[in-house]
């Protein structure tokens, strides 16, 4: 058993570690709320974009929601373990943080490795959506219209892609490609030469993928930051648990 003088010396250290770990856990808990909110927002606001990707990609919002719930629960457990000063709870908290740390790293690596596959899949699905485009507002047609209006683009590679579709033979280029809805008649949209002056000429595929690629470094940086942040929590929880064990410190 440690001497009384040593226990008195280490008590401020343990109190300091507890305060720092509680602060960390609170920030960690808030990050879970943010993940949860982003997942819900993505499911509601980005559904049309996910419809042009494969089924696995459409699960991304649900993954974020699930991760947010796990982080909130784990953060709550971490606060409880820190306040109680329970060594086994702190060790379990550190183990769970380590598990999430590994999952974040694996997810980041998988996303980076399969980024080209995602681009290829998006291009093929966008081409298929143009081929089957109609005015009945089905999910894929709505996604095409939304992307063209939002990104100010037209077609896959350029506006002329629409000339190869059945829809063009019937009605010309869709109105979602028009630069100005008030100055874009059906006759203009059926004539490729006139349409060139009325619609966006750049293709959507390049704009979407270039945006994705520009965000890859940001995503990688965020993933690395989250991983490093979790390492801090792991170290703090292990240190606090070790101090409590070695000095037989008990919370009142």
Q: pLDDT tens, 63-105? A: 778 877 888 898 899 888 888 878 888 889 889 888 888 877 7
Question: pLDDT (tens digit, 9 = 90+) per residue, 163-203?
Answer: 888 888 888 899 889 988 888 888 888 888 888 888 998 99
CA distance 85 to 1: 18
Give pTM, 2 decimals: 0.69
CA distance 196 to 116: 31
Q: For helices 60-84 and 4-45, give the axis angle rounded to 10 degrees.
A: 160
């Amino acid at each position: 058993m440690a001497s009384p003088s040593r226990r008195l010396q280490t008590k401020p250290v343990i109190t300091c570690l507890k305060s720092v770990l509680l602060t960390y856990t609170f920030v960690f808990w808030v990050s879970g709320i943010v993940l949860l909110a982003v997942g819900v927002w993505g499911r509601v606001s980005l559904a049309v974009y996910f419809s042009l990707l494969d089924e696995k990609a459409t699960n991304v919002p649900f993954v974020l929601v699930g991760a947010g719930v796990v982080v909130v629960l784990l953060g709550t457990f971490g606060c409880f373990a820190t306040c109680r000063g329970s060594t086994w709870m702190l060790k379990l908290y550190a183990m769970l943080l380590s598990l999430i740390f590994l999952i974040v790293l694996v997810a980041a690596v998988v996303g980076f490795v399969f980024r080209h596959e995602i681009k290829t899949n998006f291009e093929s699905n966008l081409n298929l959506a143009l081929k089957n485009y109609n005015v009945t507002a089905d999910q894929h047609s709505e996604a095409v219209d939304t992307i063209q209006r939002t990104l100010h683009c037209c077609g896959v590679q350029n506006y002329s892609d629409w000339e190869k579709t059945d829809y063009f033979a019937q009605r010309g280029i869709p109105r979602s490609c028009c630069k100005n809805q008030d100055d874009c008649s059906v006759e203009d949209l059926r004539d490729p030469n006139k349409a060139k002056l009325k619609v966006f000429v750049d293709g959507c595929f390049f704009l979407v993928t270039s945006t994705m690629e520009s965000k890859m470094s940001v995503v990688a940086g965020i993933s690395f930051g989250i991983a490093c942040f979790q390492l801090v929590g792991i170290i703090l929880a292990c240190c606090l648990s070790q101090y409590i064990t070695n000095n037989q410190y008990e919370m009142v």
